[in-house]
Amino acid sequence: MKKLLWLLPLVLAPWQAQAADLANGERINRTCALCHGIYGQGTPSRASPRLAGQNAEYLAKATKDFRDGKRQAPTMVVTSGLHELSDKDLVDVSAYLAQLDVPAYALIDVQQPGGDPAKGVKSYKECKNCHGTEGMGKPDKKVPRLTGQHANYLFQQMKLFQWRKRPHGIDPDDQALFDDLDDQGVFHLVAHVATLDDEQVKVAKSAEGRKAAVEERRAEAKARHEARRAEAMGTAPAKGSGLQITDIKQTVAQMEVKAGLKPDDVIQAMLSKAAGLNMKLVGQQYVSKELEERGEKAPYLTIVQFCDPKDAKTMVVHNPIYASYMPCRIAVVEDQQGKLWLMMLSLDMLINANLLPPEVVEIAIRVNQAMLDVMVAGATGEF
């Protein structure tokens, strides 16, 4: 043992020897939160996986795989700046996400319609060795936790394993583990995995769990408010109250359009992407064109608008104030150098606001992700 121990510092990369920097991790996570949620809770729809409580070693590997192009999620890589993060940054954000607990009030009970957990238990026998009876994975072997993970995401990943689009497991044989399963078989497996978080959710829903959640939520809201205020004001706390507007850039997501793309290509790419995502186009305003028709010169400006009536309803029923975000819009705008930019209001603040019920946060995350997808399509011309 002694012999092995003195070898350790030699085999560890320099960044592994230091403890992870959780403050750096938290800072990076702000961009991840646009799609994964501020608690890393993910969303059941559109396959945005839960990251909170996932094993840190696995997360560091997974993020590296995306950054280095071994796994594909182009919108994520471009909008989160993942491609510019160092190995140390990835370790930091992974450590931060791994220690996050989804608060009881944001905990999503994983649901799987269409599968039979009793049938899934049988096939899960083959998975226990690595993922564990409780589905918590094995940190030392970089085996991910499956418990609490959204069913849609798990289903999609198992299809990727079957199609050989993503490597699975430790030995090459592990790739074939899913080959004998048809879609229904995969649903059964996922249905079983979906039961593994039930205890957690039950505790969260008990009277005691609820009380603790409310207290936790108050304390967190207070801490967050104070941190924001301190950040907005430099170090000194604000004197008096009144309207405070923090840096406008924090509420805006912006991307430069790839050089050479014409405004019409950008808009075409966005509309095609939006149609593919079933987003309803509710308006197009050709501001600069309109001015030019009146003989007035103006830098290019066009605004496209989208709205899903059902989502809008859910949000407004919760609080009419959210109508201020509607419809979702992306502006194509030319700067003084003649470069084209895409600008939209980020729903970041809604995702961060910890006084919202999970269903509203889920809509905010989902819509933000779809809007970012449309924006990336416009910025790159690819859809």
Q: Which residues bind ligand HEC (CB under 6 A)?
A: 28, 31-32, 34-36, 47-49, 51, 54, 59, 61-63, 71, 73, 75-76, 79-80, 82, 93, 123, 126-127, 129-131, 142-144, 146, 149, 154, 156-158, 168-170, 174, 177, 189, 369, 372
- End-to-end, the C-alpha distance of the chain in Å comes to 55
Nearest one of 157, 191, 187 to 72, comparing CA atoms:
157
Select 88 or 318, whichever has its Cβ closest to ligand HEC.
88
Cα(192)–Cα(39) distance, rounded to whole angstroms?
A: 24
Q: Tokens 């607990």: give the residue.
A: 101
To the nearest whole angstrom, how small is the minimum distance from the Cβ of residue 249 to ligand HEC? 17
Q: Tokens 């899960």: give the residue.
A: 124
To the nearest whole angstrom, how small is the minimum distance from the Cβ of residue 365 to ligand HEC? 9
Cα(365)–Cα(373) distance, rounded to whole angstroms?
A: 12
User: Within 10 Å of residue 314's Cβ, how many Cβ atoms?
Assistant: 16
Q: Tokens 């910890």: give the residue.
A: 354
To the nearest whole angstrom, how small is the minimum distance from the Cβ of residue 76 to ligand HEC? 3
Burial class of residue 169, CB neighbours in 10 A (0-12, 13-18, 19+): middle
To the nearest whole angstrom, how small is the minimum distance from the Cβ of residue 257 to ligand HEC? 18
To the nearest whole angstrom, how small is the minimum distance from the Cβ of residue 7 to ligand HEC? 25
Select 110 or 302, whichever has its Cβ closest to ligand HEC.
110
Q: Are 372 and 379 in contact (CB under 8 A)?
A: no
To the nearest whole angstrom, how small is the minimum distance from the Cβ of residue 325 to ligand HEC? 18
Select 72 or 284, whichever has its Cβ closest to ligand HEC.
72
To the nearest whole angstrom, how small is the minimum distance from the Cβ of residue 292 to ligand HEC? 34
Select 361 or 372, whichever has its Cβ closest to ligand HEC.
372
Select 329 or 366, whichever has its Cβ closest to ligand HEC.
366
Select 173 or 296, whichever has its Cβ closest to ligand HEC.
173
Nearest one of 301, 356, 290 to 325, comparing CA atoms:
356
Whether the link from the prior residue into 237 is cis, omega within 30° of 0, is no
Select 31 or 302, whichever has its Cβ closest to ligand HEC.
31
Q: Are 197 and 109 in contact (CB under 8 A)?
A: yes
Select 129 or 284, whichever has its Cβ closest to ligand HEC.
129
To the nearest whole angstrom, how small is the minimum distance from the Cβ of residue 371 to ligand HEC? 9
Nearest one of 108, 88, 84 to 96, comparing CA atoms:
88
Whether the link from the prior residue into 327 is cis, omega within 30° of 0, is yes
Select 108 or 146, whichever has its Cβ closest to ligand HEC.
146
Q: Cβ contacts of residue 281 below 8 Å, gap of 6+?
A: 271, 274, 275, 304, 305, 306
Tokens for 156, please give them: 């999609």
To the nearest whole angstrom, how small is the minimum distance from the Cβ of residue 1 to ligand HEC? 27
Compute the radius of gyration of the chain from its Cα atoms: 23
105: left (phi over 0), alpha (psi -120 to 50) or beta: alpha
What are the two backbone dihedrals, phi and then psi, of residue 224, each rounded to the nearest 5 degrees?
Answer: -65, -45
